[in-house]
């Protein structure tokens, strides 16, 4: 019984120490995406991401950060439409939920890595034909997309969070019948967050 009481007291003391060191911050963030698909011979597409983040600094070496982001992704390609070589912009809009470990290699600089769950909202192809903009909804879109993220972040002036990361797609964006067996997202992101 004494051992149980001592273990309980030690556990409470350790938990209290951990709580005292833990710092919780949150705020909005916005950034740029440079995106493409693995199957595509086309060009990268530049777009935006916007949302919010929440971070918990556990100690001097480790933090955990979760985010909720609206992210425009896709690619650009040239496609033969009625004998014409047409520039087509493909856009897939996501609601992304990354959860990353922040490993601090210096006081304000961290290496970030972790999984991301993406919920596909819609997909569209857009091009000009005879001077008219044509938009068409893309079918066979997989609703759930999984990625692995890695990058770096820098805490600036205790308020700003500067991040550069690469999102490596682990699952196909479209069914295999649409774009073949390998059509995964590849996204490079630059972003800035503001801690409230």
pLDDT tens, 99-112? 999 999 998 999 99
Reported confidence tier of residue 149, pLDDT bands at 50, 70, 90:
very high
* Consecutive H or E run containing 73: strand 62-81
Give the Cα separation of 155 and 185 in Å (integer): 28
Q: Which two tokens stand for residue 137?
A: 């909804």
pLDDT at 17 over 50: no
Quickly list H helices, the chain.
2-21, 176-179
Which residue from 187, 186, 183 is spatially nearest to 174, judged by alpha carbons? 183
Q: What is the pTM of this model?
A: 0.84
* Range 76-103 average pLDDT: 89
Reported confidence tier of residue 128, pLDDT bands at 50, 70, 90:
confident
Q: Which two tokens stand for residue 46?
A: 């530049």
CATH numbers and ranges of domains, the chain: 23-194 (2.40.160.20)
């Amino acid at each position: 019984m004494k051992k149980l009481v001592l273990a309980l007291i030690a556990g409470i003391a350790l938990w209290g120490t951990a709580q005292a060191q833990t710092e919780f911050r949150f705020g909005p963030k916005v950034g740029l995406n440079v995106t493409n698909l693995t199957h595509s011979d086309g060009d990268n597409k530049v777009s935006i991401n916007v949302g919010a983040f929440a971070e918990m600094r556990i100690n001097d070496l480790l933090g955990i950060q979760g985010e909720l982001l609206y992210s425009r992704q896709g690619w650009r390609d040239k496609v033969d439409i009625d004998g014409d070589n047409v520039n087509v912009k493909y856009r897939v809009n996501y609601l992304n939920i990354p959860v990353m470990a922040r490993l601090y290699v210096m006081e304000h600089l961290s290496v970030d890595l972790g999984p991301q769950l993406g919920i596909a909202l819609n997909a569209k192809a857009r091009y000009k034909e005879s001077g008219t903009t044509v938009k068409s909804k893309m079918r066979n879109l997989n609703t759930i997309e999984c990625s692995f993220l890695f990058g770096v972040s820098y805490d600036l002036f205790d308020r700003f969070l500067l991040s550069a990361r690469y999102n490596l797609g682990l699952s196909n964006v479209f069914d295999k019948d649409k774009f073949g067996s390998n059509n995964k997202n590849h996204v490079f992101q630059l972003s800035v967050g503001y801690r409230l």
